[in-house]
Amino acid sequence: MPHILFLMSDTGGGHRAASRAIETALNMRYPGQFTTELVDVWKHYTPFPLNTMPEVYTPWINRNPTSYSALFWLNDQVLSRPQGGLLSVERMFPRMKRLLFRDHPADIVVCVHSVFVRPAIYALRRENSQKPFITVITDYAWPTVLWYDRRVDRCLVPTEPAYERGLKLGLKPEQLRLTGAPVHPKFTTVNLTRDAAKQQLGWDRSLPAILIVGGGAGMGPLIKTARAIDEQRLPCQLIVVAGRNERMKSYLDSVVWNRPTRIYGFVNNMEVFMTAADLLITKAGPATITEAAIVGLPMVISGAILYQESPNAEYVVKQGAGVYAPGPDKVAAAVAKIFSDDGTQLKQLSAGVRKLAQPNAIWQIADEIRAYS
């Protein structure tokens, strides 16, 4: 039975979620045909202080996004050049290259984290192993150069711009597949109307629902954003998901709200929340954008990490799927404008978001991996 090794890290929730989504799709599509394993490469195969990246990533993004953006831009520039690319392959992560595939032998390697693609494929091929290496890009509109390596067997990309970038960076058309982004199969199989989903969750079915999320870690100025929208006193209800940020949830629970408001911690049925909602407030993370698109939920993008996520916001706006309004005050003004007419703008955004939807993506990704078994 083929064994699949997923290379990921808990820097944010997207990489593990993507791995689990693919794992679930494989088990549903090809039950009993694979075994799987997830390895957090940052945590287990890098030296201190890099091995603390899963713990420091979220605080870093929240407290100093400018420095993260600068490093992202610098890596994308330097490592797109032959000398920089060689450095990243041959000099970085010696423990990873020496031990990873000995500790975790696999028949198929699936990498869902950009930083690990080059050193991992280098390590695999250096051992004269021709086992399949598949990259599943979990960024969205303009992935970093680190995702693209000419030695991989397949590079599965989420969007047309991501595909075009792969070609420009030297990958061959037969290596690239435009599949869409990996999203858990439950988003593709939810079978509820908006009204029925509201009823299931106990929300007021007579009021539009504005869903405000900050990812599994509760990132970004979620409190200020929720309060700014609440001060507009719109004819709606607010649904705020604080994720695993217990301190944030506790504060939100203590607020006296002007509008009907429900506060949640981490939820494992986001597909129902998104189906029930009429409008989503989110940062420009690829996973949330993709999930919202599948269920047809229009968006107000409340912020974006420069260079890494800002292309996602531009892409969403270009497709007519959402509005970019960085910062709590701009979000509140955008929401007020959307709800100020007879629903025309909301309908237009709903039509635009359907252009982004790729409900078959997770099944195509599973099929691509299975083809190498």
The predicted-structure confidence for 218-269, as pLDDT tens digits, reads as follows 566 899 999 999 999 999 999 999 988 899 999 999 999 999 999 999 999 9
Paired tokens of 313: 């916001």
What is the arithmetic mean of pLDDT over 104-122?
95
Q: Is 359 helix (H, G, I), strand (E, B) or coil?
A: coil
pLDDT band, residue 148 (cuts 50/70/90): very high
Question: For the chain, how many residues are written?
Answer: 373
What is the arithmetic mean of pLDDT over 74-82?
79
31-60: pLDDT as tens digits: 999 999 999 999 999 888 989 999 999 889
Distance CA 69, CA 81 (A): 19
pTM: 0.93
Paired tokens of 32: 């009993």
pLDDT of residue 88: 62
Does 119 score more than 60 pLDDT?
A: yes
Distance CA 192, CA 274 (A): 11
Q: Which helix (H) or strand (E) holds 162?
A: helix 160-168
Quickly tell me which residue has 């509201």 as its tokens. Answer: 198
